[in-house]
Each structure stands twice: as C-alpha cells, then as structure tokens.
Amino acid sequence: MRKLLLALPVVIFAVFAGLAFVGMQREDPEGLPSAIAGQQAPKVQLDPLEGHVPFAQADLTSGGVKLVNFWASWCAPCRAEHPTLMDFSDRGIPVYGVNYKDNPAKARAFLAELGNPYALAGADPQARMALDWGVYGLPETFVLAPDGTVIMRVTGPLTARNLQTRVMPALAEAGLEF
C-alpha cells in the first residue's frame, strides 16, 4: 500500500503532462474551439442600443459573409481591434455588433470617438445572447457564411496574425475573395 501511495504523485504528474502535450498539438493552441462552428447561428436576443438598429436572426441569413462582434467600451482589447473592424466595414463586409454588459452612454461615446463599424448593432445587457453563443470573454468575433452558418470563432482581438492565418482563409472558404 505504501508503494502505491508513493507512486501516486508520479502517476498524477504523468497524466497531467500527457494531457498538456495533447492540448498543445491542436491546430491552433491559442484558439478555443467553438461548439457552434458548422451550425446555424444561435438565437439573436438584443435590446436596442440608442442610435442603432439591432439586428435580427433574419439578418444573419440574408446572404453574404458577415461578422458578429461582441464588444464593450470598458474592454481594452476591443479598442485595439476596432481599426480592423473599421477596415472590414470599409471593404463592404457587414459587421454586426453586440454591446456586452455595457453602460449605453459609454458605448455611444466609444463609437463616437473611434467610429462605427457596425452595419447593425444592439445591446446584450444581461448577456443572454452571449451565453447562447458561447462567449466567455471580450472581444469575440464570429465569421458567418451567407446562409448564417458559423464558420469560425475568434477569441480575443482580431490581430494581423489571426487575420492572415485564420480569418482570411475562413472568409475565402466562405466565398469572399480580397
């Protein structure tokens, strides 16, 4: 019995090391898989955000590739990725915004200061929609196919690296060429 107890820490460490090794062999160890990838976009549940028209479920299936971006004025990485969202909007790719658990006045000030990349936007003050979409932190962006199927999820800000390695290939797969 004593030998078994002495071997237990070694066995626990070996199991942990094996799990860590398997996790590091994923295609993108920094990205989190999305349970909704390949499925229709989850339910849209938005409150109006003053000065903006919220999008509805039908907008997600209206044709054309689109992005759904969860953001907040208090989120520093959201500020960092904002120029990228503006670029997508300038290129004619619809970006739909979901303002997450935010003060409406601060959200309006954020967009007034940095510009508004959102074709349509609404508020998710109780995080009901974020919960359905599997959002765990901000910002998060979902790439949707023209029929509303979720192609991919990007956790964290859209950066030059994940644009080149993940987002642009996903947009090309959805039929959008740059």
Number of domains in the chain: 1
pLDDT (tens digit per residue) in 36-47: 888 999 999 999
Range of the domain at 90: 36-173
87-95, Cβ contacts within 8 angstroms, sequence gap of 24 or more: 88/117, 89/117, 89/118, 89/119, 91/178, 93/64, 93/65, 93/66, 93/67, 93/171, 93/176, 94/64, 94/66, 94/67, 94/119, 94/120, 95/66, 95/67, 95/68, 95/69, 95/119
Please indicate, yes or no, if residue 126 is contained in any of the structural domains.
yes
Global pTM? 0.80
pLDDT band for position 17 (cuts 50, 70, 90): low
Q: What is the mean pLDDT of residues 23-27?
A: 51
CATH code for the domain in which residue 115 is found: 3.40.30.10
pLDDT (tens digit per residue) in 93-132: 999 999 999 999 999 999 999 999 999 999 999 999 999 9
pLDDT at 162 over 70: yes
Please indicate, yes or no, if residue 7 is contained in any of the structural domains.
no
What integer best gives the mean pLDDT of the chain?
A: 87
**Which uninterrupted H or E stretch holds 96?**
strand 95-100
List CB contacts of 8: < 8 A, sequence separation 6 or more: none
Q: What is the mean pLDDT of residues 138-161?
A: 92
